[in-house]
Copies of this chain bind each other. A is one copy, B any other.
Amino acid sequence: MEALKQKILAEGIVISEQVLKVDAFLNHQIDPALMQQVGHAFAERFRDQGITKIVTIEASGIAPAVMAGLELGVPVIFARKYQSLTLKDNLYISKVFSFTKQSESTIAISAKHLSAADHVLVIDDFLANGHAAKALIDLISQAGASIAGIGIVIEKSFQEGRTLLESEGYRVESLARVQALADGRVTFLD
């Protein structure tokens, strides 16, 4: 997605060879018009797939997921970090290990919002090692729902996330694929 790549080049900050900071338009400050384009790009890729729900994770997945949900005409569920929940009964629960924070967190979805009749599009802001996506897939599978694919705003293609997800048969659609973060510069695949 060209507008996204241009935004990454203009406003993304390369913190290290592993870390790209995009808090100017995606995960702290949000560019709503860009998110609308991102939502449109996801909708284009999954429009004919019979999606009934989008599942993402708080907080940075919400803006792109809601814009995709608006265009596809389906509800969005954001998995909550367990400690932020006020009611803890009737939940699907999974665990995510974050390398960035070096800690494990628990995420959850209320069982009443997802069923075996659902066909789900997973959306997240980043794909790195695939742990967050795997935890979302785990939650969706607990509900017995099927998965149409995984929509990612920015993929760090030098990490193993895509390979892991594709090896398990999932379709991965990333709007920007970062090949490397060398010498303080972002380079893209294709």
Number of chain A interface residues as a range: 35 or more
A29-70 with Cβ < 8 A to chain B = 29-33, 35-36, 58-59, 62-63, 66-67, 69-70
Q: Which residue of B lies closest to A86 (CB)?
A: B100
Cβ distance A151 to chain B, nearest Cβ, rounded Å: 15
A35 proximity list for chain B (CB < 8 A): 66, 70
Q: Are B33 and A70 in contact (CB under 8 A)?
A: yes
Contact (Cβ within 8 A) B113 A28: yes
Contact A76–B32 (Cβ < 8 Å): yes
- Number of identical protomers: 2
A24 at the interface (CB under 8 A from B): yes
CA distance A23 to B112 in the complex (A): 10
In chain A, residues 151-187, which have Cβ atoms closer than 8 Å to a Cβ of chain B?
Answer: none
Identify which of residues 50-98 in chain A touch chain B, using a CB-to-CB cut-off of 8 Å: 58-59, 62-63, 66-67, 69-70, 73-78, 80, 84, 86-87
Residue in B30, B59, B73, B109 whose CB lies within 8 Å of A59: B59
Chain B residues with CB under 8 Å of A30's CB are: 62, 66, 69, 75-78
